[in-house]
Structure 1
């Protein structure tokens, strides 16, 4: 797959037009979609119209930015005005947003070409994209395996070259884990760095939009375009956004890299451990000082998360009641029956499970025992990270304990599915930036991801370490052999 910078040079040098590039992406989608099912909707006419506008600007002698004419996929829980946004749920099957999310507005202004809306776990709840109400997305490296979740459609689309970059959302690992499973780069930014206006809420104190790309540089370019303060999002941070590409340096002299001890041990696949340990040795060869770090409360992250996230989901999803928008059963005899049947028919089993867990945790008599306690644990996890960043610049760990598993392997056992997010969840609880990038393959040829975690708003450190590692290895150049 060609990089953003290479495509930009081809456009500016008039070797290719934006319409040609868009058509090439659309042709590839048409070829691969019968096998992959990455997209819930392909927006061909819209993409070609956007591409034609970029060509018109070039013809008029205007200067274009790096992202102009670049094909992008958008996760289908990010609102696109006039284009259906379903969250892969029956309850929003026919929902067409009357407004545009801030991130897609920024991307339109930058001239990107949206080729479609990508599949996800219903309302972003899941780790394999199997809870989507509409289709099962396949992993481009092995079509019998899952692409990860919840942003599996975006990860599969970028990995398979159906688009150059894509947007996902990450609540407990939903960008980093599928990036790891699909052998690409995925970044969850610092909480509040990217506006959530127009992102359909799952757990408001954890959700964050971020980029998928084939290289660290492409991820840096895309983050630069979507980051920044937004008055429409009350959690948005008022900070200056640097040019993230200026931090892409090839050596790590003077950098301190902490290895989180608690992420190595029981449940970690030997192939994943081998690849990640190899990556840590590589960081050392690049001049980084490796420090063993203990984050003892890290292991309570999953328990705290599965109280906090469902509690927030229970509150956020109360709005889908069949009254204002979305699905409504037609033949209900009274209001209560309309509410209950709409929700019963509209939500899938995983979403119902999380709403029930959350409602229970927030109910009278249990609020203090569960929700309040989970928030206290969240604070302790944050303190572990603060103490770690007093000693090192970045932290590293495996992104996920295993590589991509076979579709259907974990659907009957929600707990084993939840444990896939063991390494990624604490990063969301603390609001930190985290990236997954390819660091090897297991014995079956499935990609392994290395997670790099930065302190609050230290994306610069994450990008520097990731870029130095990437340039010293060839993992990011490997692509699945689909056609």
Structure 2
């Protein structure tokens, strides 16, 4: 297992204690050591070695100089297969990379490989797909979560110090939570989605998964910014990602979301309480906050995602249905049954929910919520995302962070979710850093 985080590796390289080539080799050895996890579908070993050698022979090019990353396999990479976890694109090699990878590469990052994803970020963990599902490094009989399953598993196992995922209803935050990582779904519009296979243009996000909140901030310093290929990014402000990180939470009001998950188990409740104590000890005020019913967010999310997904893939579903996995095909086809009036109603309800969230943040600075009802359940049992509190903040586009809050009696990670107003991402990360600091040093699962 490579012991490096992005931040510690960057510091060691600047001090001359580590080379990019040595770090790449450590990561490749870690991948080879745990093939059963199936965290990667494509490993770009030779190109990564060449890029590392070039990084070692040149002065620093950016904040991610010489740092290897994993990239979810629905994010296009020039010259490298991007299959989307599907037979439909099994041989597809894009001619241009996604905008976010162009930004990361310009900041000095090295592509180590493409990480396992649920088929087109919707298909679950059935065994009828061309790639095996990624397994949880803490316990391979437990759920990894999806759809950014390989990205979280790779980070948790020390195969790579950071990775990129996507999130439409929880697909960054849930795998991060169940694998003990930090995962940020940024404010929608901060990170370009150009060159990412779509699930829902209304709700899709892209963002980082890393071992620490600091590493998420480091990745966001390169990821965030306007992109002419994605018009949703044009009006996003420039944010101070690393400068705010150590600013603490003193004087901030945290809303404890009422009724978001009424049935979390006792250990997850203990983890939530521990996170609350860490924030309170750091000078924050905890108050009660009421959100609209979870069912309203769920209904809007389901109708919007199913409708839009069907619209993207309906031609392939009609002409090549056998190219899709059974679960993917069934979920996509369900979108064809949604009436136009229902879709329009869901968009209207989404607008109302966004307005309700904006009103909520006039009284509190951030929200502290549970994310899941329990630690990672048995593998294959969590493809519908029951007992999860991620969808509301995909619907509203709010920044939402999954952060480790302790360990259950089963040895599996506990987690909480921190949510902020639009473009409050740096403060969200600062709050996550407080919780991580209170938890203390933790080791990845080799």
Q: Quick check: TM above 0.5? A: yes
Q: 1:187 aligns with which of 184, 188, 193?
A: 184
What corresponds to 1:336 in structure 2?
none
What corresponds to 1:371 in structure 2?
343
What corresponds to 1:386 in structure 2?
358
Distance 1:10 1:278, change over 3 A: closer
Work out whether 1:8 is the aligned partner of 2:5: no
Work out the CA distance in 2 between the residues paired with 1:110 and 1:291. Answer: 40
Work out the CA distance in 2 between the residues paired with 1:390 and 1:209. Answer: 27
CA deviation after TM superposition for structure 1 residue 466, in Å: 1.1
Work out the CA distance in 2 between the residues paired with 1:430 and 1:388. Answer: 12
Gaps of 5+ in 1: 322-338
Work out the CA distance in 2 between the residues paired with 1:398 and 1:308. Answer: 24
What corresponds to 2:139 in structure 1?
142
Matches within 5 A, 1:65-80: 65-80=62-77
Work out whether 1:456 is the aligned partner of 2:422: yes
Work out the CA distance in 1 between the residues paired with 2:137 and 2:129. Answer: 18
What corresponds to 1:397 in structure 2?
369
Work out the CA distance in 1 between the residues paired with 2:348 and 2:8. Answer: 48
Q: 2:436 aligns with which of 455, 459, 470?
A: 470
Work out the CA distance in 2 between the residues paired with 1:126 and 1:384. Answer: 31
CA deviation after TM superposition for structure 1 residue 227, in Å: 0.7
CA deviation after TM superposition for structure 1 residue 443, in Å: 2.0
Work out the CA distance in 2 between the residues paired with 1:131 and 1:229. Answer: 39
Distance 1:392 1:126, change over 3 A: farther
CA deviation after TM superposition for structure 1 residue 17, in Å: 1.8
What corresponds to 1:328 in structure 2?
none
Q: 2:174 aligns with which of 177, 190, 193?
A: 177
Work out the CA distance in 1 between the residues paired with 2:128 and 2:389. Answer: 21
What corresponds to 2:50 in structure 1?
49
Work out whether 1:28 is the aligned partner of 2:24: no
Work out the CA distance in 2 between the residues paired with 1:105 and 1:201. Answer: 18
Contact 1:259 1:396 in 2 (8 A): yes
Work out the CA distance in 1 between the residues paired with 2:129 and 2:164. Answer: 17
CA deviation after TM superposition for structure 1 residue 44, in Å: 0.2
Q: 2:280 aligns with which of 274, 277, 284?
A: 284
Work out the CA distance in 1 between the residues paired with 2:348 and 2:124. Answer: 25
CA RMSD of aligned residues (A): 1.8
Work out the CA distance in 2 between the residues paired with 1:458 and 1:367. Answer: 34
Work out whether 1:242 is the aligned partner of 2:243: no
Distance 1:129 1:9, change over 3 A: farther
Work out whether 1:216 is the aligned partner of 2:183: no
CA deviation after TM superposition for structure 1 residue 264, in Å: 3.6
CA deviation after TM superposition for structure 1 residue 278, in Å: 2.0
SS of corresponding position for 1:465: helix
Contact 2:278 2:434 in 1 (8 A): no
CA deviation after TM superposition for structure 1 residue 200, in Å: 0.7
So what's the TM-score if we normalise by structure 1? 0.88
Distance 1:128 1:213, change over 3 A: farther
Per-residue CA deviation, residues 51-107 of structure 1 (Å, 9 max, x unaligned), is 1110110xxxx3443311111100000000110001101111111111111111111
What corresponds to 1:99 in structure 2?
96
SS of corresponding position for 2:193: coil
Of 308-317 and 233-242, deviating more is 233-242
Work out the CA distance in 1 between the residues paired with 2:359 and 2:130. Answer: 42
Contact 1:276 1:450 in 2 (8 A): yes
What corresponds to 1:419 in structure 2?
386
Of 347-356 and 236-245, deviating more is 236-245
SS of corresponding position for 2:417: strand
SS of corresponding position for 1:162: coil
What corresponds to 1:331 in structure 2?
none
Work out the CA distance in 2 between the residues paired with 1:243 and 1:6. Answer: 20
Contact 2:87 2:129 in 1 (8 A): no
Distance 1:347 1:254, change over 3 A: same
CA deviation after TM superposition for structure 1 residue 404, in Å: 1.0
Per-residue CA deviation, residues 386-408 of structure 1 (Å, 9 max, x unaligned), is 12101011111111222211123
Contact 2:63 2:222 in 1 (8 A): no
Of 303-312 and 178-187, deviating more is 303-312
Work out whether 1:357 is the aligned partner of 2:325: no
CA deviation after TM superposition for structure 1 residue 281, in Å: 2.1
Work out the CA distance in 2 between the residues paired with 1:18 and 1:199. Answer: 27
What corresponds to 1:86 in structure 2?
83
CA deviation after TM superposition for structure 1 residue 180, in Å: 0.3
Work out the CA distance in 2 between the residues paired with 1:166 and 1:277. Answer: 29
Q: 2:116 aligns with which of 119, 141, 165?
A: 119
What corresponds to 2:304 in structure 1?
308
Of 440-449 and 429-438, deviating more is 440-449
Work out the CA distance in 1 between the residues paired with 2:164 and 2:424. Answer: 20
CA deviation after TM superposition for structure 1 residue 208, in Å: 0.8
Work out the CA distance in 2 between the residues paired with 1:124 and 1:112. Answer: 24
What corresponds to 1:298 in structure 2?
294
Work out the CA distance in 2 between the residues paired with 1:171 and 1:278. Answer: 28
